[in-house]
Amino acid sequence: MDYEIIRYEHKYDDEICEFQKPLWTADSNLNKSYFRWKYLENPVSESPKIYLVLRAGKLIGFRGLQDMHWQIGGTPNRFIALSSMDLHIHQDLRNKGIYTNLMNFVLRDLNEMGYRYIFNFSAGTVNYLNSLAMGWKSIGEIHTMKMTNNIQRNEPGAIKFARRILWKTGAAQRLKDLLGIRQSINKIHLQSTTEPQSRLVVEDRPKPKEMATLVKDLVPINKITLIRDETYFSWRYNNPMSKYIFLYLYDEGLKGYLVLGNNGLLIGDYETYNIYELEAASSAIKIELLNHLIKIMDFGTISVWERMLDQDCTDYLISEGFIEGNLRKSVKDFTQTILIKSLGKDNRCEHQGLNLLDSQNWDLKITYVHDY
């Protein structure tokens, strides 16, 4: 089969947004907004890290990556590593070696540019297995804690079935209207009236400057953490595929915040609302934020990565009815993990003496997954 692999060129933008419909949505305009936000407006990237597979001039494969700016907490060591994003091979041309050739091209090219690592925070089952076969390494499974509201548990099976059918037929834009993700999030915001002197404030927009000031003082020592400055926050929560609410706790300045979001348009899960970030100087403040969230959520499922929680927060959520949400029932079950690929000749996953494959060396947050 004759095809060529090239770096991104602007002239393919419209074709990319059409080609990505099976992964994104059936709405071309929404896909264009998402593509522009994700790959062209990223404040860390000087240029998009996108690779295209062309056959007779027609797009048959896409691989997207993003520059992400990292630090090792408590040290001046900062570095840029890539995060692996969208991967799509035309459905009629899979299992024909295109994926392997594409990834080998990508890895060689990025290595020549001077990149040392690629991280993957959102590998699906097939991508996960293919990556391991190509030398990627896992830092371990990512477990979640979840609580499903009783109203959602009792939803009629016919409605759930209809949701699945609509998603499989690609009617993502119609699903957006039918399921009212935005209306649901707005409902939380509108119903969350607070007293003028309340410590807690619920907003539908980020506060980039205040959030950046807070997290700068909360960076854990000797852990790999994404650098989240004011510019990053201004960009991060403009994802047109997702909707967010922000819980802020004030006491002579911002002392903590929680970000909740839903990205059902991309993954077809309209019932789950993820806690993207939970930041505060103490467990007590984090628990106060979690407690307020539980009080105002009367629908859907709240989900959070266990690794984002300290023991006090974990114990609190268990007492409120949260359970581990992705327990394996057999060895065939897939559990989300984080993958790392070293581009160095020695294939070592180590930076400044820190083992990247040790999950204890990471300050992990769902917000690192830019699909959400």
Please check whether residues 122 and 148 belong to one and the same domain. Answer: no
Q: Residue 233: is it exposed, middle or buried by C-beta count within 10 angstroms (0-12/13-18/19+)? A: buried
**Over the chain, what is the mean pLDDT?**
85
pLDDT tier for residue 74 given thresholds of 50, 70 and 90: confident
Report CA dihedral (198, 203, 209, 212) to the nearest 10 degrees. Answer: 90
For residue 250, the Cα-to-chain-centroid distance in whole angstroms is 27
Tokens of 43: 């404040």
Please check whether residues 312 and 343 belong to one and the same domain. Answer: no
Please check whether residues 161 and 295 belong to one and the same domain. Answer: yes
The larger pLDDT score, comparing residue 82 to residue 129, is at 82
Please check whether residues 227 and 293 belong to one and the same domain. Answer: yes
Which has the minimum average pLDDT: 240-254, 256-270, 280-294? 256-270
CATH number of the structural domain spanning residue 43: 3.40.630.30
Q: Which range marks the domain in which residue 341 is found? A: 4-142+331-368
DSSP tally for the chain: helices H, then strands E: 13, 17
Q: Residue 296: is it exposed, middle or buried by C-beta count within 10 angstroms (0-12/13-18/19+)? A: middle
Strand partners, 117: 342
pLDDT in tens, 224-257: 999 999 999 999 999 999 999 999 999 999 999 9
Contact 275, 259 (CB under 8 A): yes
Q: Which of 219, 214, 276 is nearest to 250 (CA)?
A: 214
Please check whether residues 181 and 305 belong to one and the same domain. Answer: yes
Please check whether residues 33 and 136 belong to one and the same domain. Answer: yes
Please check whether residues 305 and 343 belong to one and the same domain. Answer: no
Contact 239, 182 (CB under 8 A): no
Please check whether residues 164 and 309 belong to one and the same domain. Answer: yes
Strand partners, 219: none
Please check whether residues 61 and 118 belong to one and the same domain. Answer: yes
Q: What percent of the chain has pLDDT over 70?
A: 84
Tell me how far apart the alpha carbons of residues 371 and 242 are, in angstroms, rounded to a whole number: 9
Range 78-95 average pLDDT: 92
The larger pLDDT score, comparing residue 174 to residue 229, is at 229
Phi, psi of 29 (to 5 degrees): -65, -40
Which has the minimum average pLDDT: 88-97, 190-199, 293-302? 190-199
Residue type at position 41: E
Please check whether residues 45 and 97 belong to one and the same domain. Answer: yes
Range 22-49 average pLDDT: 92
Domain count, the chain: 2
Report CA dihedral (328, 331, 334, 340) to the nearest 10 degrees. Answer: 120
Domain end, chosen from 324, 340, 355, is at 324
pLDDT in tens, 318-371: 999 999 876 555 445 556 789 999 997 777 898 888 999 999 999 999 999 887
Range 63-76 average pLDDT: 90
Range 186-192 average pLDDT: 57
pLDDT of 200 higher than 90: yes
Please check whether residues 83 and 216 belong to one and the same domain. Answer: no
Please check whether residues 106 and 193 belong to one and the same domain. Answer: no
Tell me how far apart the alpha carbons of residues 301 and 146 are, in angstroms, rounded to a whole number: 7
Whole-number pLDDT of residue 177 = 44
pLDDT tier for residue 168 given thresholds of 50, 70 and 90: very low
Tell me how far apart the alpha carbons of residues 335 and 74 are, in angstroms, rounded to a whole number: 31
How is residue 352 annotated by DSSP? Answer: T
Whole-number pLDDT of residue 344 = 78
Residue type at position 266: L
Q: Which of 311, 296, 304, 298 is nearest to 367 (CA)?
A: 304
Strand partners, 146: 303, 323
pLDDT tier for residue 54 given thresholds of 50, 70 and 90: very high
